[in-house]
Amino acid sequence: MEITRTFSATRDRYRGTVGLIPTLGFFHEGHLRLMEMLRDRCDTLVVSLFVNPTQFNDPSDFDAYPRAEGRDSALAEGVGVDILFAPGVAEVYGGISVTTVEVTGVTDEMEGRHRPGHFVGVATVVAKLFAGLQPDLAMFGRKDAQQLVVLRSMASDLRFPIEIVEAPIVREPDGLALSSRNVRLGREARESSLAISRGLYQAAEQVDAGERRGERLEETVARSMKRLDVDYVKLASIATMKPIDTLDEPAVLAVAATVGGVRLIDNVIFDWVDGQPSPDRGLLLDTRSKLAANGMITT
């Protein structure tokens, strides 16, 4: 595996079909699963590692975001990544930088409402990665469901000839969605955080049993999370990312809450199979994540 710092040096190393996974680094088993999945679909697998300052609406969150390039490069190499693209801020934003990418509509609610400016930062940096790296495929996780829809819209509107590939949410055996932020959860907060996935799974059960009322599904999740500091619990259309009252189209039940000072997001996407909603409960790891738990390489 090679580590590159510039767009052009990265492109110079391509052969065959190129797959890209944009990340903020500090890899956990969720990231590694994405890498394994895309590995099978391309000849050159590129993972970008860039803690993008413009997508953090809260400067203290940017400062606290865990960073460890040496650790990350060993993990990426272990799952067969060809190139780890780890640019400095100047490579991405240097020179005359007066252009931003704003995706409208699908950014109005949920994360867009609670993190002003976040999606402009995300769409702008991913547009730069797409233009500068020119991959054939790009993979994003369903963990960030609204981000996925925002980036699909951006890629389609700007006519990037890039296939967007979705990956399911990778979860701890007890349900907690893996996140680089989980290393900041204390023991008690880690326990409390389970209320999020538990609530989502209960709502998924209700849907399997025939419930279609959005309010009821949101109530179920909110009840489970009543001890947490909740930003939102919303049933939203996948097409528009706008709230819907009835689950009668592909949708996401999405939540954000702060636990022990750490902001977590999670969701269940309802795909549509044979005219019925089919909850995507994600991929449960067999054993507790070592990387997301303490940030050390123990594998």
Interface residues with ligand AMP (CB under 6 A) are 23-24, 30-31, 34, 140-141, 143-144, 167, 169-170, 177-180
Q: Find the distance separating the first CA and the last CA of the chain, reported in whole Å.
A: 18
Given phi > 0 = left and psi -120 to 50 = alpha, else beta, which region is 236?
beta
* Smallest separation, CB 219 to ligand AMP (Å): 25
Rounded to whole angstroms, how far apart are CA atoms 241 and 109?
7
Rounded to whole angstroms, how far apart are CA atoms 281 and 299?
26
> What is the enclosing helix (H) or strand (E) of 84?
strand 83-85
Residue 31 bears catalytic tag: yes
Nearer to ligand AMP, 140 or 270 (CB): 140
Contact (CB, 8 A) for 83 and 48? no
Per DSSP, what are the bridge partners of residue 23?
A: 49
Residue 234 tokens, joined: 């919303």
Nearer to ligand AMP, 145 or 247 (CB): 145
Contact (CB, 8 A) for 235 and 110? no
* Smallest separation, CB 24 to ligand AMP (Å): 4
Nearer to ligand AMP, 46 or 178 (CB): 178
- Is the dihedral angle over the CA atoms 278, 281, 283, 287 positive or is it negative? negative
Q: What's the CA dihedral at 140, 152, 42, 299 to 10 degrees? A: 0
* Smallest separation, CB 290 to ligand AMP (Å): 15
The helix/strand/coil state of 31 is helix
Nearer to ligand AMP, 178 or 268 (CB): 178
* Smallest separation, CB 215 to ligand AMP (Å): 28
Q: Which residue is nearest to ligand AMP (CB)?
A: 141
For residue 13, what are the contacts with CB-CB under 8 A and spacing of at least 6?
2, 4, 44, 82, 83
Residue 157 tokens, joined: 């509107």
Nearer to ligand AMP, 206 or 262 (CB): 262
Rounded to whole angstroms, how far apart are CA atoms 141 and 27?
13
* Smallest separation, CB 289 to ligand AMP (Å): 9
- Is the dihedral angle over the CA atoms 19, 30, 25, 92 positive or is it negative? positive
Nearer to ligand AMP, 55 or 206 (CB): 55
Closest-CA residue to 214 (of 265, 239, 249)? 249
* Smallest separation, CB 151 to ligand AMP (Å): 9
Provide the annotated active-site residues.
31
